[in-house]
């Protein structure tokens, strides 16, 4: 990447992603409050359509709470294969413009278009063209943010959601951030926001009054980037080749399980999924980790490192099954089971990945 002083960064984020896909594929869901997720007791909402958001329904909300807020809410089970397909389609569009694409999840990515395949000097025009192409190819809308760094581009794409387009030009960056509510800062979650409020920080301007040391004292390591972000600064590069560190998946049971045979059966499915994903991503690791969460939320993990990398299900499964035998089932039943492979060892890793099972 040439070290230009001003970079041109775009952030693209699909609108109500899973829910929009479901509404696209089922006419009966259009214009209705939809939640993707399971309505059962333990279920959570993965995402909600904009119609449902008006009732206060949002991602990660327990399904029961969501139903209380919006009794006419329609629950739809997730279809990850379709979301993956759309994700591939949009990434192909991004790559038409630049190789500097950093996906953050299935539905969002940063693009550095300072230099691009179309020799188009206008990042704004590129962003609009991408939005149009996404709509033509997938029938779905995305929001786009354009600015000089990742932090500002991300804030910009969120600013006019859904189907939004917003540019923060360099000369307006500082004023824009000063006026920004701290909840709108990238990476500021509920807990940090509350802590900020307790310290009378409500806007970017308030944040700017603190010294870097002061922010580090309050927020630890995050204090450094908060200090810079409050000034509209973010030097992080768009990283196209994030390293695969692990492949893992987990499942939370509707009903706790204490039967070793049933748990082993669940583990079989997890191992199938992990092996499949390892092949998809050409990621092979030597360390297998089994994760068990008991009904009382006590979490244990067990790991085993092999002399050689695992490349196939037939290598993964016997080890995972053996590890299951070490799990103590004499006390609490099991609520969640997870399996992962990590430790690629000699650096032949390719792309970054994590199984997109999110909250399920």
Q: Given the rule CB under 5 A, which residues bind Mg ion? A: 13-14, 17, 107
Question: In the bound complex, what is the minimum distance in angstroms from residue 108's beta carbon to ligand DCP?
Answer: 6
Question: In the bound complex, what is the minimum distance in angstroms from residue 354's beta carbon to ligand DCP?
Answer: 12
Residues 6+ apart with CB under 8 A from 339: 248, 249, 250, 267, 270, 271, 274, 288, 289, 290, 291, 320
The tokens describing 148, both together, are 């000089």
Minimal CB distance to ligand DCP: which residue? 358
- Residue 174: active-site member: no
Nearer to ligand DCP by C-beta: 40 or 322?
Answer: 40
Distance from C-alpha of 359 to C-alpha of 109, rounded to nearest angstrom? 21
| Distances 77 to 18, 41, 103, 277, 360 between C-alpha atoms, Å | 10, 14, 24, 21, 10
Under the binding rule (CB under 6 A), the answer on residue 13 touching ligand DCP is yes
The tokens describing 105, both together, are 């999840």
Question: In the bound complex, what is the minimum distance in angstroms from residue 143's beta carbon to Mg ion?
Answer: 8
Under the binding rule (CB under 6 A), the answer on residue 51 touching ligand DCP is no
Question: In the bound complex, what is the minimum distance in angstroms from residue 123's beta carbon to Mg ion?
Answer: 20
Question: In the bound complex, what is the minimum distance in angstroms from residue 16's beta carbon to ligand DCP?
Answer: 4
Q: Return the residue of 9, 12, 46, 168 that touches ligand DCP, per CB under 6 A.
A: 46
Closest CA to 321 of 343, 298, 288: 288
Q: Which does 300 bind (CB under 5 to 8 A by kind): Mg ion, ligand DCP, none?
A: none
Q: Which does 204 bind (CB under 5 to 8 A by kind): Mg ion, ligand DCP, none?
A: none
Q: Return the residue of 7, 17, 153, 349 that touches ligand DCP, per CB under 6 A.
A: 17
Given the residues 22, 51, 102, 108, the one annotated as active site: 108
Number of residues that bind ligand DCP (CB under 6 A): 17
Distance from C-alpha of 273 to C-alpha of 320, rounded to nearest angstrom? 13
Under the binding rule (CB under 6 A), the answer on residue 219 touching ligand DCP is no
Under the binding rule (CB under 6 A), the answer on residue 166 touching ligand DCP is no
Q: Which does 46 bind (CB under 5 to 8 A by kind): Mg ion, ligand DCP, none?
A: ligand DCP
- Site residues (CB under 6 A) for ligand DCP? 13-18, 46-47, 59-60, 105, 107-108, 161-162, 358-359
Q: Which positions are catalytic?
A: 108
């Amino acid at each position: 990447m040439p070290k230009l002083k001003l970079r041109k960064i775009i952030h693209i984020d699909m609108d109500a992603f899973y829910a929009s896909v479901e509404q696209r594929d089922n006419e009966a869901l259009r214009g209705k409050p939809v939640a993707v997720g399971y309505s059962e007791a333990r279920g959570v909402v993965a995402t909600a359509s904009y119609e449902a958001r008006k009732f206060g329904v949002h991602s990660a909300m327990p399904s029961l709470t969501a139903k209380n807020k919006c009794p006419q809410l329609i629950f739809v089970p997730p279809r990850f294969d379709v979301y993956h397909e759309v994700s591939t389609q949009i990434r192909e569009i991004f790559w038409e413009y630049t190789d500097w694409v950093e996906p953050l999840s299935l539905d969002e990515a940063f693009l550095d278009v300072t230099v691009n395949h179309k020799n188009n000097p206008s990042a704004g025009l590129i962003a609009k063209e991408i939005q149009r192409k996404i709509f033509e190819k997938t029938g779905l809308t995305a929001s786009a943010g354009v600015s000089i760094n990742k932090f500002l581009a991300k804030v910009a794409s969120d600013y006019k959601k859904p189907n939004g387009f917003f540019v923060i030009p360099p000369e307006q960056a500082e004023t824009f951030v000063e006026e920004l509510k701290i909840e709108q800062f990238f990476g500021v979650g509920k807990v940090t926001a509350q802590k900020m409020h307790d310290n009378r920080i409500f806007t970017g301007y308030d944040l700017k009054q603190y010294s870097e040391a002061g922010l580090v004292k309050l927020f630890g390591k995050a204090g450094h980037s908060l200090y810079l972000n409050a000034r509209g600064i973010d030097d992080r590069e768009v990283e196209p080749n994030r390293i695969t560190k692990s492949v893992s998946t987990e499942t939370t049971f509707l009903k706790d399980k204490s039967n070793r045979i049933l748990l082993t059966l669940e583990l079989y499915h997890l191992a199938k999924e992990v092996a499949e994903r390892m092949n998809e991503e050409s990621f092979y690791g030597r360390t297998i980790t089994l994760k068990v969460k008991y009904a009382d939320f006590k979490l244990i993990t067990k790991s085993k490192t092999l002399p050689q990398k695992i490349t196939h299900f037939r290598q993964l499964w016997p080890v995972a099954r053996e590890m299951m035998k070490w799990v103590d089932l004499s006390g609490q039943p099991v609520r969640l089971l997870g399996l992962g492979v990590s430790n690629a060892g000699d650096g032949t890793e390719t792309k970054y990945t994590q199984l997109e099972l999110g909250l399920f």
